[in-house]
A and B are shown apart, each in its own frame.
Chain A
Amino acid sequence: MSDAATGARSLSPARRAWLRFKRNRLGLWSLVLFATLVVLSLLAEVISNDKPLVVRYDGQFYFPLVKTYPEKVFGGDFDTETDYLDPFIRAQFAKPGNWAVFPPNPYGARTINYFAKSPNPSAPSRDNWLGTDDRGRDLLAQLIYGFRVSVLFGLALTAVGTLLGVAAGAVQGFFGGKTDLAFQRFIEVWGSMPELYLLIIFSAIFSPSLALLLVLLSLFGWMGLSDYVRAEFLRNRQLDYVKSARALGVPNMQIIRRHILPNSMVPVVTFLPFRMSGAILALTSLDFLGLGVPPGTPSLGELLSQGKNNIDAWWISISTFGVLVLTLLLLTFMGDALRDALDPRRAEQ
């Protein structure tokens, strides 16, 4: 037990857990790297895009990133949107007085490079750093946007599943008795539904979209967590500090919110990174099977499936595999560090 005279500043349990987390170098650096990658992928439009960031043409500035300009503006023949990769437009920008600043990787998620020098899928070259996929889209752009979709989807699925799981576990654990019994039986029935078949059926009925996937996966994703939260609630509700609160006449909702919930969050927080990597894997495998995101959406699973179909185009499978492994590994390292930081046996030290 720490002596009460050690210092005036008192650290909350959450803060102490964070300090323990920081002591784990691998976990901390995984968090830093992962956060950097996520922030970079959120800025994907500036990093990898087929539109220039700024264009100077005939003495005027243009910002194609935020505004759509027809080709006529830059001396072309058509009213359609400018294709900035067209050698003619490039030549226009190269005239004296004109210039254009392109992002580091001049391809967007859906850009097809019609001007590639070799047939699709083409191997890594000076134009396409990681090569192109079998439709002629730049692989690096695909990976950046695919990573962003995966991570955002993973975050959303984790958030929804955690909220549902905590709410369901809290209700069962706090009220117990018949409520608990009914809920448990419902979970057993619900959990025995064939998830994959439902997904196949629904993807046949509705047009596939990320939102639909999120709803369908959320419907089943909360069950594992609710059991842990329920167990924590069952344990915590009979502790003396909860009894004291009841003896003070504190209303049920406040007891849950102020007393039991904060003390039941350890399994929830510990599982967050693992749930997230699970969500990313789920999306990837559904995409791989062709049950996931609508066609044309950049997706790691779809790239893996391309890699399988074009086994000689090694750059597709290897780079996608690399991104997936890195993502999942970082999440697992973070999860390990978090689990150690929240371990009650270490928390006593």
Chain B
Amino acid sequence: MTAPLLEVQDLHVAFGPKTVVDGVGLSIAPGEKLALVGESGSGKTVTALALLRLLHGARITGRAVFDDGRQPRELLALPERELRALRGDRIAMIFQEPMTALNPLMTVGEQIVEVLRLKRALTPAQSAQAAIDLLAKTGIPEPARRAGAYPHQLSGGQRQRAMIAMALACKPKLLLADEPTTALDVSLRGQILDLLRELQRENGMAVLLITHDLQLVRRFADRVAVMQHGRLVEQGATGAVFAAPRHEYTRQLMASQPERDVDESPHAGGAAPVLAARGLRVSYPTPLPGVRGWFAKGQFVALQGADFAIGPGRTLGVIGESGSGKSTLAQAALGLLPRRQVGGDVQVAGVRWQHRAGADKPLRRRVQVVFQDPFSSLSPRLTVEDIVGEGLRVHAPHLGAAQRAEQVRRSLHEVGLGEARFPGLLARYPHEFSGGQRQRIALARALIVGPELLVLDEPTSALDVTIQKQVLRLLQQLQRQRALSYLLITHDVAVVRAMAHDVLVLKDGRVVEAGAAAQVLGAPQHPYTRKLLAAA
């Protein structure tokens, strides 16, 4: 066995009194692919940033020896100037969100050239050619033209490729990849991963992949290290860990694939649909360029020709990638779009949205919504009682404060939140709850008015996998108890597999495939559906 490229021992990182990384030790051999897995807040990103000392206001202790064959160097004790020479040159990093990691005011080519000239001292002409070659290597079509493009002119996948090109500009020995595919659509994730693997093999570079996605780890890594609460709980060869996880937490992570547990009885044909749409079309006004824009507005069609119906107690899963019109569909079902933007027909229990506050009020009671982001979906300045009780103030104004509190308590109990675990629950503010608990509060807020249909807009995609499974189980249970219908919007095929009776596949605002879940997911007809399913 060769000497390790990076040897980390007893790494501690603390912000103020709070220890975020607690005694992590790991080593990476040259050319090895190590995955660091954990849920949000487990300290995996902080570990990577600490190695390059890119954390502000943190106290870092421990040892991290980097030895690329020239001389071993202690990263945590290196003078800032020498560390700067290592960063980007011997050790490079790529980030989750390429839009914010690239400078929006410089073309992609300029940014790569900047790295090359700083670290490689090439002439402008040489580095410009080298930048184009690098972009070509990452598989960007027409690299010479793309080098002159600004980040916003590239698609998400191309931006991530450009960032990889930049990171690889100096042929680093170690690449720290922080959730490199999380911000991308599923069909792109596999491609980026393949690209990383290919480049890794070509350059003999080691990769530390930081991720929460176990599928990714299984496909990519040689070894895996599992983190929980700042500690390394398990470490080993990928195959061995997946085959026989030793730590309880690892087992929990492995078992967090959502399970299907829904009412499978065939659809009762006679029941009237809770939500029905025919020829639904949504368009947004867009500014036109030049003088024309002063007098007229362009039109962007976000969704067209959507027909669907949801029966009582059933779930319609809508899948598609970002920009496919999924969220627009949710807004239209909720009647939240201005009348002029909506064409076609959307009916809730046979009644059409009027787009007037007074006329729509009875309908609002029947359709409720749960959003993706558990942090922006609860107002930080209201108590749990005010948040959950809001619907009652509108739809049952005759209730007194005590009755309202009683109903709020009942609704919270239904989603699994009780005074027993959270003393003084009603008077608490959202900041005291974790993501999964917030999502439950949002669910209680929706359920309190007794809706028939819940629009779930990516209800679990911001949650950690173990929490995701719990929330999905709760949703399944509520559906059985209350005969609720769900309009489930997601990009995650596993969630649809676990929840949906019927599936709608959207691409660029059009329905490309629709039908019973077993049929669409089991025997997809459209090539796009096949691609989506293959990537998942």
Query: Which one of A8, A14, A249, A259 lies within 8 Å of B379 (CB-CB)?
Result: A259
Partner pick for B364 among A4, A12, A249, A258, CB 8 A cutoff: A249
* 27 interchain pairs, CB-CB under 8 A: A2-B431, A4-B428, A4-B433, A5-B421, A9-B424, A10-B383, A10-B424, A10-B427, A10-B429, A10-B432, A12-B383, A13-B429, A14-B381, A240-B376, A241-B376, A243-B336, A243-B371, A247-B368, A249-B395, A250-B390, A251-B357, A251-B394, A252-B357, A258-B382, A262-B381, A263-B380, A349-B16
At the interface, yes or no: A192 with Cβ under 8 Å from chain B? Answer: no
Q: Which residue of A lies closest to B437 (CB)?
A: A4
B116 within 8 A of A: no
Kindly state whether residue B28 has any CB partner on chain A within 8 Å: no
Contact in complex: B364, A247 (CB < 8 Å): yes
**Smallest CB gap from A252: residue in B:** B357
Given A13-B429, A243-B336, A247-B367; A263-B381 close (CB under 8 Å)? yes
Interface residues of B (CB under 8 A from A): 16, 41, 334, 336, 357, 360-361, 364-365, 367-369, 371-373, 376-383, 386-387, 390-391, 393-395, 421-424, 427-429, 431-434, 437, 442, 445-446, 449
How far apart are B362's CB and chain A's nearest CB, in angstroms?
9
Residue A201 at the chain B interface, CB threshold 8 Å: no
With contacts A240-B371, A240-B377, A258-B379 known, what are 6 further pairs, Cβ within 8 A? A1-B434, A10-B427, A248-B394, A249-B361, A249-B365, A258-B382
A251's nearest neighbour on chain B, judged by CB, is B357
Query: Are A247 and B394 in contact, CB atoms less than 8 angstroms apart?
Result: no
Q: List the 6 closest A-B pairs by CB distance, nearest first.
A: A249-B364, A240-B377, A240-B371, A10-B428, A8-B423, A262-B381
Q: Is the interface of B mostly helix, strand, loop or mixed?
A: loop
Partner of A248, one of B368, B371, B432: B368
Q: Is A318 an interface residue (CB 8 A)?
A: no
Please tell me if the beta carbons of B428 and A247 are within 8 angstroms of each other in the complex.
Answer: no
In whole angstroms, how far apart are the Cα atoms of A252 and B371 in the complex?
20
> Would you call A60 an interface residue if the criterion is a C-beta within 8 Å of the partner chain's C-beta atoms?
no
> Looking across the interface, which residue of chain A has its beta carbon closest to that of B364?
A249
Nearest residue (CB) in B for A263 is B381
Cβ–Cβ < 8 Å partners of B357 in chain A:
249, 251-252
Which listed residue, A8, A13, A349, touches B380 by the CB 8 Å rule? A13
Q: Does A33 contact B (CB under 8 A)?
A: no
Question: What residues of B have a CB within 8 angstroms of the CB of A215 in the complex?
Answer: none
Bound Cα distance A1, B377 (Å): 17
- Interchain CB contact under 8 A, A241 and B377: yes
The chain B residue sitting closest to A239, CB to CB, is B376
Taking CB atoms, residues of chain A closer than 8 Å to B391 are: 248
A4-B422, A4-B432 given as contacts; is B364 within 8 A of A13 (CB)? no
For A260, the closest partner residue in chain B by CB is: B379
CB-CB nearest in chain A for B368: A247
Check if A118 is an interface residue, CB within 8 A of chain B.
no
CB within 8 Å for A248 and B449 given contacts A10-B424, A13-B381? yes
Cα(A9)–Cα(B372), bound, Å: 29
A11 beta carbon closer than 8 Å to chain B: yes
- Does A8 lie within 8 Å of B449, measured CB to CB? no
A245 in the interface (beta carbon within 8 A):
yes
